[in-house]
Amino acid sequence: MSEQLFGALSISASGMKAQSTRLRVISENLANADTAAATPTEKPYTRKSITFKNELDRAQGVERVEVDKVRQDNKRPYPMKFMPDHPGADANGYVKMPNVDPLVEIMDMREAQRSYEANLGMIDQSRSMISQTIDILRR
């Protein structure tokens, strides 16, 4: 039984680490959401996205979640914003803006936060059960 509880701790800890990385990437996207291209030929900040993978922990016999890759999102187009005085403006006065949608990022952030909190709750439950098991064994 203790192996299962320690396995649950390991799974939850890896989930928290993965969601923490996801929150960092989302924060970077939000911080650069208004960073325009410096010149007309330059690309602005490109949104980053994260993918996960399952990793088998052979020592404990459990599958843990790990960060697979942090990639640039080249599928979304760069919106154009009319800013004729900006140094990155083209001949028509438009500047390429990052392909970051703050609303999407905030929704992703809430989801990552909820996942992080769920993993934290599992750690608290596992620790409580381990503590109760130790108390029973002491009697």
Tell me the domain boundaries of the chain. 2-138
Query: Angle at which helices 102-138 and 2-31 pack, to 10 degrees?
Result: 160
| Token output for 35 | 């960073």
pLDDT by residue (tens digit) across 44-69?
Answer: 999 999 999 988 776 667 788 899 99
> Following DSSP, what letter does each residue of 94-137 receive, concatenated?
EEE--S--HHHHHHHHHHHHHHHHHHHHHHHHHHHHHHHHHHHH
Count Cβ atoms below 10 Å from residue 90 Cβ, excluding itself.
15
State the number of CA atoms in the 13 A half-sphere of 117 facing the CB: 6
Look at residue 139 and give its three-state secondary structure.
Answer: coil
Rounded to two decimals, what is the model's pTM? 0.83
| Token output for 115 | 């996942």
pLDDT by residue (tens digit) across 58-100?
Answer: 666 778 889 999 999 999 999 999 999 999 999 999 999 999 9
